Amino acid sequence: MRVTKTLSISALALVAALTMAGCAGGADEAEAPEVEQTEFAAGSTMAKLQEAGEITIGTKFDQPLFGQVDVDGDPQGFDVEMGKLIAAKLGISEDNITWTETVSANREPFIESGEVDVVIATYTINDARKEVISFAGPYYEAGQDLLVLAGNPEGIEGPEDLTGKAVCTVSGSTSEKNIAEYTTDVIATGGYADCLEPLRTGAVVAVTTDNVILAGLADQNSPEFEVVGNPFTEEPYGIGLAKDDTDFRNFINDVLEESYEDGTWAEAWENTAGVVLDTPEPPAVDRY
């Protein structure tokens, strides 16, 4: 497995923290998906990737449970497992996946420029993004929530309680857009882990993004924080790919549906996010 991009400061801090804790997450024990050799239509993205024998996947490097680099610098998490499943169906082994760090703000540009073949990065499917890229999936449905200090000293039960209060989120995310309806006092960082220190110091009263990202951060920093548990948006996670590459989108949707049926989706969940969260029912893919 290859990893590109310089690690962000928060990812480096995290590697140090994980090294000290001697803990790298549960995905290491997961079995690699079986690599398959299928015949794809000549000229298709699938045929090109199969022929190249390698794929570049954009994912998060600093989000526990979904995409986070371990002590060896290899990303682990549910999004990473989805990437391995897709690669295997293209005849590409884990060793031939290049993982590139994508942050919330650069996902569409990285797909548009061809810097990555796909993005699997807690990436909400929405119409604005569909203007410039296409999505397979959804393969999971999250909802935006709030992370507060343990014991919830400000008594925040939902976004309505944030009027006039400072909140931290990440630029380029749907979380940033959605929270603007409730408060104008928003600090937008490069990654959600960068929001934890402002929450600790009281510079903000809450961190906001998808509930499952917040659950991972709360778990990793237990017992400092808690998730309010009152999701106020729908965030269907999709796999971003080049706009209008319909054959590739159909192929990935087929891989997802197959993984729902043969149990590999549930297994991927249980080995990653499932360490902290219950196993959900997989959502129906949307062949829009």
The secondary element (H helix, E strand) that includes residue 106 is none
3-state secondary structure of 208: strand
% helix / strand / coil in the chain, to the nearest 5? 40, 20, 40
The count of C-alpha atoms lying within 13 angstroms of the C-alpha of 154, restricted to the half-sphere facing its C-beta, is: 25
Residue 124 carries which DSSP code?
B
> Applying CB under 6 A, which of residues 70, 81, 210, 267 lies at the interface with ligand GLU?
210
> Applying CB under 6 A, which of residues 235, 241, 248, 264 lies at the interface with ligand GLU?
235
- Nearer to ligand GLU by Cβ, of 100 and 122: the residue is 122
Cis check: omega of the bond before 282, within 30 degrees of 0? no
Binding map of ligand GLU across residues 19-58, x = CB under 6 A, - = no contact: ----------------------------------------
d(CA 210, CA 127): 18
Residue 285 carries which DSSP code?
P
d(CA 270, CA 277): 9
Task: Examine residue 124 and tell whether it contacts ligand GLU (CB under 6 A).
Answer: yes
Query: What are φ and ψ of residue 96, in 5° steps?
Result: -105, 20
3-state secondary structure of 5: coil
Min dist CB 96 to ligand GLU, Å, is 26
Stretch that binds ligand GLU, among 49-57, 158-166, 209-217, 271-279 (CB under 6 A): 209-217
Task: Examine residue 74 and tell whether it contacts ligand GLU (CB under 6 A).
Answer: no
Min dist CB 29 to ligand GLU, Å, is 26
Binding map of ligand GLU across residues 137-176, x = CB under 6 A, - = no contact: ---------------------------------x--xxx-
Task: Examine residue 271 and tell whether it contacts ligand GLU (CB under 6 A).
Answer: no
> Applying CB under 6 A, which of residues 76, 122, 189, 259 lies at the interface with ligand GLU?
122
Q: How far is CA 44 from the centre of its chain?
A: 26
Q: What angle do CA 165, 170, 175 make, to 5 degrees?
A: 70
**Nearest residue to ligand GLU, scored by beta-carbon proximity:** 173
Min dist CB 231 to ligand GLU, Å, is 12
Positions that interact with ligand GLU (CB under 6 A): 104, 121-124, 170, 173-175, 209-210, 213, 235
